[in-house]
Amino acid sequence: MATISVAGPRGVDKPVLLATGCLDGEAAARSPFRKGKNMHKLLALLVGLAICSAAKAQTITDPDRIVQQLELWTQTDADPVYYGEMTDERRRHMACLELAFIKYENRVLHYIHKMWPKRNGSCEYTDQRSRKVDNSQTCVADSEKPNPRAATTTLLTKQNIDLDRSVFRAMDFPNRRAGQLSPCLGHTLQQAQRLGYLGSAGIVSVKIENGQFEMQSTAHRIYRVRVQPMDPRQPPTDEVF
């Protein structure tokens, strides 16, 4: 919260508390200040929105501070999911993307991803029945997958993901590597390497900026999601970007 003072009756300054959360268009339309009934409160609201806009424009690059802005599955009873896309380094769309951030330990962020191609120009986030996801993690136990290497649906919940039987991908910030860093399914490191599901790329940059989480890798890929977690049972009905 932020506080400013506005001139009250007889010139006495009155403190006004400002919520730093932004109002969207619908909320602004419902605002009791919109008809100019109280110019002092309207001024306070406008200053609050300016503060909020400045906060959203701030670029955060420190991993610890970035993770503070994220909701992790191991820290909530819910199963928040982040929606976005993978692009090339010129920001040309390559795949639809959803991410669940699982845990953060020793500056390593563990996550689950699912990616799939657009259909009819749309990511169709609400279609959670088609097995259209052709890029998901071999090491994640997903009841929507017939076998570890099969295509799956976009459903990403604690009901269909067995966290105890999964080995997650990771963003290792101290070593600046991201990918499947550990073997799974009882395999040794050598077996996993031979099977080809181990792999990682360097982290070029990671940040939160303009309401987006973004990680760029040395594989010339940019992964970005809107920093607005959603209930996976109610995915976006429109395009995120």
Does a structural domain hold residue 234?
no
Does a structural domain hold residue 237?
no
Same domain, 94 and 128: yes
Does a structural domain hold residue 185?
yes
Same domain, 37 and 137: no
- Pair type for strands 108-116 and 93-105: antiparallel
pLDDT tens per residue, range 25-65: 444 444 443 445 555 556 655 655 555 555 556 899 999 99
Please report, rounded to a whole number, the percentage of residues in the chain having pLDDT higher than 70.
Answer: 76
Residues in the chain: 241
Average pLDDT, the chain: 85
Same domain, 73 and 155: yes
Does a structural domain hold residue 121?
yes
Contacts of 138 (CB under 8 A, 6+ apart): 148, 149, 180, 184, 185, 197
Whether 219 shows a pLDDT value over 60: the answer reads yes
Same domain, 31 and 68: no
Same domain, 126 and 26: no
DSSP for 59-83, written as a single string: -B--HHHHHHTS--GGG-SS--BEE
Model confidence, pTM: 0.77
Average pLDDT over residues 86-112: 97
In Å, how far are 49, 157, 166, 183, 235 from 143, measured between CA atoms?
44, 10, 12, 20, 19
Same domain, 50 and 155: no
Same domain, 7 and 50: yes
Does a structural domain hold residue 236?
no
How many domains are there within the chain?
2
Contacts of 148 (CB under 8 A, 6+ apart): 138, 139, 185
pLDDT tens per residue, range 121-175: 999 999 999 999 999 999 999 999 999 989 999 999 999 999 999 999 999 999 9
Does a structural domain hold residue 92?
yes
Confidence class of residue 238 from pLDDT cuts 50, 70 and 90? confident
Does a structural domain hold residue 231?
no
Domain region containing 7: 2-57
Same domain, 85 and 46: no
Same domain, 116 and 168: yes
